[in-house]
Structure 1
Amino acid sequence: MSRSSSLVDWDLAGRTARRLVSPGPETTREEAAAVVEELHRAAATAVAHVEELTGLHPVPGGPVPTVAVVDRPGWVTANTAGMAALLDPLADALTEAQGKSPGPLATAIGSRATGVQAGGVLAFLCSRVLGQYEVFGSGGRLLLVAPNIVETERRLGVDPTDFRLWVCLHEVTHQLQFTAVPWLRGYLEEQVSSFAEATDLTPDVLRERLTDVLRSLTDAVRGGSPDDDAPQGLMALIKDPAQRAALDRVTAVMSLVEGHAEFVMDGVGPDVVPSVRTLRKRFAQRRKGRGPIDRVLRRLLGLEQKMQQYADGRVFVAGVVDLVGMDGFNQVWAGPANLPLKEELTEPARWVERVLGTRPAIPA
């Protein structure tokens, strides 16, 4: 998986994360098997509900998505591959732009240092992620992290069957977004390329900045806390205005897809998920973090920005649907020009006027 030019030794990152990962909740072999079976069933059930509510359908003849119910080490393995697919081309582009590559010894030492630190970050995340649709890496696969789902439903004290279907509704929405809108993945990849082309950093400098961020995470785990000048998530790596513009485009589209999934998982209603209102209320508390170190890590990892994406995206989707209905909203998937601008996320009427050419009447 790792190459000589890689910013991070991803093989080492994976081994480190798997060594550090905390054990999941206690279950018998029979209970674990039942959870896996129910999650597969819930994912299959969610498809029809998501398609009915959104009006989207996979492109005929496209790849058939698969569902994988994994444990925490399995999630780590999948995500080291996905992160390598995302970041390694950036390292290659930087090396090519500079016309030279760092020496093999410097590369080996640097990539191993960031590999260990990245492993610590993955170990933290792998106990919190409930599921994800793989966009990069192998692509086309829906991951459901069984121990995290079980641990969360127990902690929240909610109905397991309802919660598992509710989680699947969110993740299946992401699956449908990328299978019904095949240009979406390519668009994201183009923004990553634009990001790389806009930078004048050398691979060594980028690795140093990445190391600074990861070192801050390590310090937080040991009980430290960031000061006002500490690196704030991966935003610390972004300096160039053109890079910021590319990042704004990525933020807008990720806010859209996250907000769309949030809208769907609540929009199915109690006929599908009887305790949906209770789930939303208790799950919102979970996202605030459970303790000081957890909140520090969320801040440093940029997860607070992720939470804002959920909020802004849901405001946008709900606002547009209120103004022009689901068919009108679905014009957002017609092509990159129809994607919301970052400033339109909290003002959906501006998107309606720009894309649909009508000035909507704002509900009283």
Structure 2
Amino acid sequence: MATIAVLGTLDSKGEEHAFLAGCIRARGHEVLLIDVGSGAPPSIGPDISRQEIAAAAGLDLAGLVARRDRGECVTAMSAAAPVLVSRLVAEGRIQAIISAGGGGGTAIGTAVMRALPLGFPKLMVTTLASGNTAAYVGTSDLVMMPSIVDVAGLNSVSRGVFSRAAGAICGMVEAPAEAARGKPLVVASMFGNTTDCVNEAKRIVEEAGYEVLVFHATGTGGRAMEALIGSGMVAGVLDLTTTEWADELAGGILSAGPARLDAAGKAGIPAVIAPGCLDMINFGERPTVPERFKERVIYPHNPQVTLVRTSVEESRELGRILAEKANSYRGPVAIMLPAGGLSVIGEEGGPFHDPEADAALFAAVEDACRREVERIPAAINDPVFAAACARRLLAWMTGA
């Protein structure tokens, strides 16, 4: 039997959350009702009140409510509720969480869920489950379930939705987690243009007894990898495809934000960094490429993705950024430079082969980096380069 948190604005959505709670209890689990409302008094009695939520985060709830600004209240609860609920998870008092809501309730519920560990069951029943849900899901594994009708009372449709939602969260709790394999985790970043490199490095590291998780460097993938590193679950990092920084710098569509490359440094774990695919900026279909790039070398990766070659100036700045990031690392770190090219299409004979731009990037790294830098006389997808990266990381992780 598990305890499942049922979190919601119990002033306006009390009936719906009471129904969810009843369905969960009918399946043999316990419920912890959490009120994150900020309007009228709750219509059902919570186990954890809004006042307790506010106190846990040092929030002046009375002053907030007195201003009668609903947006301000939702924002404040979205910041406060994760503090208390994260504590409940850490103390083992709840084993899953479910919530239901419209715009405000979804903002609060998903803010809480994003703060909880990967693998912890979390389900949001919402009117906003279709369309672009990136702002609500982030890099978490929360599940968004369409409410079909508005979360505004019980009717013939909503009862069915809520009943199935309750069954779903109970099923998540009841499903046995796969037994841990016991292998230390290594994370790696990959793009189509660095696949051979990462696959070979992955093979070498896994033969040494590690499990390698590969993340697609598409913005979301980079953020997800950073989040996993920050969780404390990772033993080492093969960040061989740092292309998201080219998009962050030059305005491409696959940026992972300015915190990309920060998590490993803060965690103090061994990391190997390479400038994989920093020779390209990503855009959508060819007409989406900004006019300012019209004189650049442009390569259609596929009908939906168009690549623009980074310039000498951009490459120099990217090299400086890599060096600056590595300089801040608390643990062992090395920047490995593939002298033969940064991607499949950046090798000699490829459309993005530009020795001057690559040289500018390498020189910037070597000039600014106070940590280990090694230039390898091979292209990034050469097995020689992949092996050098893998063995550098293994030497630190194994102490050999």
TM-score, with structure 1 as normaliser:
0.21
Larger relative contact order (CA 8 Å, sep ≥ 6) = 1
Give the TM-score normalised by the residue count of structure 2: 0.20
Structure whose residues are more often strand by fraction: 2
